[in-house]
C-alpha cells in the first residue's frame, strides 16, 4: 500500500498516512474523477471502512482529502454515528489529524500558510476557501483552453463544464458576477472556477 501512496502523496506524508490507514483498518480505493466530490467515506455492510479518493487530484489536494475522510471515520467511532457529518466533532478530529502534516517538508511555501489558516476552522470542503482552493489548483495539470474565471476579461463569453454559456460582467466583492446567456439570470462565480473562453 505504501508504494501505491507514493504515487499520490507528498513523499514526507506517505509513512504517516500509511499508519493512519493501517491503524483505522481503512480499505482505500483510488477512483476515477467524480465531478461532485474529491473523496468519500462509508462503512459497508460487512463493517469495513471504505474510503475513496479521486485519482486525478494533485498530491496536496489528495492528502487533504484523505485526511478529511479518515476524520469522518475517527469522529464517528469516537462520538457515535449521530453526530453531524461536518459538525464540531468532525472539525476537531480533522484539525488534530491534519496538524502533523502542516509543515514545510510536506506543503510548499506558497500553500503552507493558507493550509495553516484554513485548519484553524476547517470547512466541509476546502473548495469553499477560495484562496486555498486557488493556491492548490496551481499544482493541477491544467487542461488546454481552460482558464480561471478571474483570468477571463470582463465582457467575454465563456462556457462551464456542463455546457452552459455565460458573459462575465465583473467583480462583486470576492466573486465574479456573470449572466447566463440562455436565461439572462445572474450568477456569482468563485475566482478559482475553471471555464472555457469562447472566442469573440
Placement of cell 489558516 in the chain: 117
Whether 51 has a pLDDT exceeding 70, the answer reads yes
| Helix, strand, coil percentages, rounded to 5, for the chain | 40, 25, 40
- Under the banding of pLDDT at 50, 70 and 90, the label for residue 44 is confident
C-alpha closest to that of 56 among 77, 82, 30, 36 = 30
C-alpha closest to that of 149 among 138, 140, 158 = 158
Residues of the chain with CATH 2.30.30: 146-198
Whether 38 has a pLDDT exceeding 80, the answer reads yes
Placement of cell 463544464 in the chain: 161
- Which residues lie across from 40 on neighbouring strands? 52
Helix, strand, or coil (residue 176): strand
A 10 A CB-CB count for 99 gives 11
**CB 187 within 8 Å of CB 178:** yes
What is the topology classification, in CATH, of domain 2-125? Zincin-like (3.30.2010)
Average pLDDT, the chain: 91
Whether 142 has a pLDDT exceeding 70, the answer reads no
Whether 75 has a pLDDT exceeding 90, the answer reads yes
- 87-137 per-position pLDDT tens digit: 999 999 999 999 999 999 999 999 999 999 999 999 888 877 878 988 898
Residues of the chain with CATH 3.30.2010: 2-125
C-alpha closest to that of 21 among 53, 59, 66, 55 = 66
Query: 35: burial class by Cβ within 10 Å (0-12, 13-18, 19+)?
Result: exposed
Whether 145 has a pLDDT exceeding 80, the answer reads no
Placement of cell 465574479 in the chain: 176
Whether 196 has a pLDDT exceeding 70, the answer reads yes
- Given this model, what pLDDT does residue 144 score? 66
Between 68 and 2, whose confidence is greater?
68
CATH of region 146-198: 2.30.30
Whole-number percent of the chain with pLDDT over 90:
69
Range with lowest mean pLDDT among 10-14, 34-38, 67-71, 142-146: 142-146
Report the pLDDT averaged over residues 154-158. Answer: 94
**CB 111 within 8 Å of CB 136:** yes
Amino acid at each position: 500500500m505504501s508504494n501505491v501512496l507514493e504515487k499520490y502523496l507528498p513523499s514526507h506524508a506517505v509513512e504517516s498516512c500509511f499508519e493512519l490507514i493501517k491503524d483505522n483498518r481503512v480499505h482505500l480505493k483510488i477512483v476515477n474523477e467524480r465531478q461532485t466530490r474529491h473523496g468519500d467515506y462509508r462503512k459497508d455492510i460487512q463493517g469495513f471502512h471504505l474510503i475513496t479518493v479521486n485519482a486525478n487530484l494533485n498530491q496536496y489536494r489528495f492528502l487533504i482529502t484523505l485526511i478529511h475522510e479518515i476524520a469522518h471515520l475517527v469522529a464517528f467511532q469516537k462520538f457515535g454515528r449521530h453526530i453531524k457529518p461536518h459538525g464540531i466533532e468532525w472539525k476537531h478530529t480533522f484539525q488534530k489529524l491534519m496538524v502533523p502534516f502542516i509543515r514545510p517538508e510536506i506543503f510548499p511555501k506558497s500553500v503552507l500558510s493558507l493550509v495553516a489558516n484554513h485548519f484553524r476552522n476547517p470547512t466541509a470542503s476546502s473548495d469553499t476557501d477560495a484562496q486555498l482552493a486557488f493556491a492548490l489548483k496551481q499544482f493541477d495539470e491544467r487542461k488546454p483552453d481552460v482558464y480561471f474565471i478571474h483570468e477571463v476579461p470582463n465582457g467575454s463569453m465563456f462556457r462551464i463544464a456542463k455546457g452552459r454559456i455565460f458573459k462575465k460582467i465583473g467583480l462583486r466583492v470576492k466573486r465574479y458576477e456573470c449572466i447566463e446567456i440562455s436565461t439572462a439570470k445572474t450568477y456569482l462565480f468563485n475566482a478559482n472556477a475553471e471555464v472555457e473562453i469562447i472566442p469573440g
